[in-house]
Amino acid sequence: MVMAMPVAYHPRIMKITRLASLVGLAFAALLGLPASGFAQSILGSAGNFSILGGAAVSSTATIGTVISGGDVGSAASVTGFPPAVVTGGLVTTDTSVVDPALTDLMQAAAGLSNMTSDADESGLNLGGLTLYPGVYSFSSVAALDGTLTLNANGQNNAVWVFQVGSTLTTTANSVVTLINPGSNGGDDDGIYWDVGTGITFGTDNQILGNYLAGTSITVGSNTNGSGRALAQSAVSLDTNAINTNGGPNDSSWNSGLMYNAMGNVVPIPEPLIFLWLASLGVMVAPILWWHKTRKLKIIV
């Protein structure tokens, strides 16, 4: 007797599929990678916020401040909302929401500060520089006077990390911009500013990325951009338009990094892609070969 059995349920195909899955999971475990092949943002629940201040968030503008794409929150006080406007998010002082976010913020900041620096930029003005993806450190203060250009050089999953020992200060009309994104358009890129104490933005700036401050962030009037302002203590706003999801394809510059099995912040490694492709190839190749016959014949 000859029976027809659907290809997907043939015992040999099922065995190969299970084997491929087990091999992929085993390699992922050995490498300390997420079994699913996808890594959560290192910001954790802090990533739900556009503006986060442990003790206070305030907006002094009578009109014009618009925060989009995330929540605005503090564990103690939020003032100036309204007239400041939040779209795509909530204003909250709920400690059951804010406190875990502050904990995740502290963990992310510690992880970023422990990354190995690729270049020590201490004493240099970021204005006028063009920087490729990497980790850039400043032993104490960092300053931006002018335009900082981040050149992805056609790379997908490009990441910039700025480790600043104490303060970051920008002058009026300073700009951070990204050029030459990869084939994904830059929506998988990550930009992280890890500042030990305070961040002060001058007026009329264009900011870009996730700004993490150990104490406070002060945003000058008419300073706008795409990203987050996350501070352990306080954030002060003044006639600002900040869109967290203002990156390519509504991204928010929080990709490219993950926690490994040791709890360290590391770049999302290429093996995630290769493991997926290898597993896909192992599963699909025999199915395509068997598919040529349209159906499998089993003699019983």
- pTM, 2 dp: 0.80
Q: Which tens digit of pLDDT belongs to each residue from 151-169?
A: 999 999 999 999 999 999 9
In this prediction, residue 35 carries a pLDDT of 40
Beta carbons of 197 and 166 less than 8 angstroms apart: yes
pLDDT at 52 over 70: yes
Alpha-carbon distance values, 228 to 35, 49, 85 (Å) = 29, 7, 16
Task: Compute the average pLDDT of residues 27-42.
Answer: 54
Residue 168 has a CB neighbour count (10 Å cut-off) of: 24
Task: Compute the average pLDDT of residues 21-38.
Answer: 44
In this prediction, residue 198 carries a pLDDT of 98
In this prediction, residue 229 carries a pLDDT of 98
Residue located via tokens 């204005």: 127
Number of helices (H) and strands (E) in the chain: give both, helices first: 3, 26
How far is the C-alpha of 55 from the C-alpha of 72, rounded, in Å? 13
Opening angle at CA 132, ends 261 and 200, nearest 5: 85
User: Which residues 6+ apart lie within 8 Å of 280 measured at CB?
Assistant: none
β-strand pairing of 142-144 with 130-131: unpaired
Bridge partners (DSSP) listed for residue 52 = 73, 230
Sign of the Cα torsion 258, 261, 263, 264 reads: negative
pLDDT at 300 over 60: no
User: Which residues 6+ apart lie within 8 Å of 41 measured at CB?
Assistant: 47, 254, 255, 257
Token representation of residue 106: 């502290």
**Residue 83, preceding bond cis, omega within 30 degrees?**
yes
In this prediction, residue 270 carries a pLDDT of 58
Q: Which tens digit of pLDDT belongs to each residue from 117-159?
A: 999 999 999 999 999 999 999 999 999 999 999 999 999 999 9
Band of pLDDT at residue 269, cut at 50, 70 and 90: confident
Task: Compute the average pLDDT of residues 2-13.
Answer: 43
Minimum mean pLDDT among 31-40, 91-100, 176-185, 193-202: which range? 31-40
Helix 271-291 vs helix 11-31: crossing angle, to nearest 10: 170
